[in-house]
Structure 1
Amino acid sequence: MSLPQLPHNNSRAEMRKALIRLRMEMHRQEIRHESAQLLQPLQRVRGMSQNLHDGFGIKHAPLWGVAAVTLLGFLTGKGAKSGGASSLTRLVRLGTSLAPLIKLVMQTSRKN
């Protein structure tokens, strides 16, 4: 932010130009300030989403999300077949789809 220099000669036209430059700089600063205030909630949300991964120590968050959706789908969804075997089949599918996540959790717990 550099303010315009005042003219050395005090002619009326030069003083008017300097005044206009000062006003334009003031308007630029107002616009910067107002836009920063408008973007502040967005910055907070971005910071919260970043802190969610960092602060809670959630590693592989997308994998956890997929696992949660899969688990909810298997527990609340209705199968195409109905009968006693469908619940067993559903549990087998759940186990095979969550196997990579379980393996990952077990590996990280052994390292710590």
Structure 2
Amino acid sequence: MTVLTWIGVGVFGALGAYARFSVAGVVTSRRPSDFPFGTFVVNLTGGSVLGLLTGLAVHGDVLLVFGTGLLGAYTTFSTWMVEAQRLGEDGDWATMWLYLLGSMLAGLATTGLGWIIGHAIR
């Protein structure tokens, strides 16, 4: 991996983190709820774009910069887990399970759809 790739991963990682903060904030402000819609939307959109990139057969440094840097910083497993755990702590078991299972099923669907679109374009 070249120095330029390392720099690209860092720069695009910063952009991805900023995008996550912005998108999650906008979604949450427009849809206040106990359900963590901000993280839900971020993870689904990030998964769909990563699916698109892999469907397009993007590889090498380009995949590192955009897949690992941008989308790795944009999506968030840890926040998803903490939000689910907090819903459970609050006794909101139905929302917790809806969030966990809904995120997995919708995430697989949107990532798969992104891959199908990318593969069709390729």
Higher Cα radius of gyration:
1
Instruction: Provide TM-score, normalisation by structure 2.
Output: 0.32
Higher percent of residues as helix: 2
Q: Which has the higher contact order (CA 8 A, sep 6+)?
A: 2
Q: TM-score, normalised by structure 1?
A: 0.34
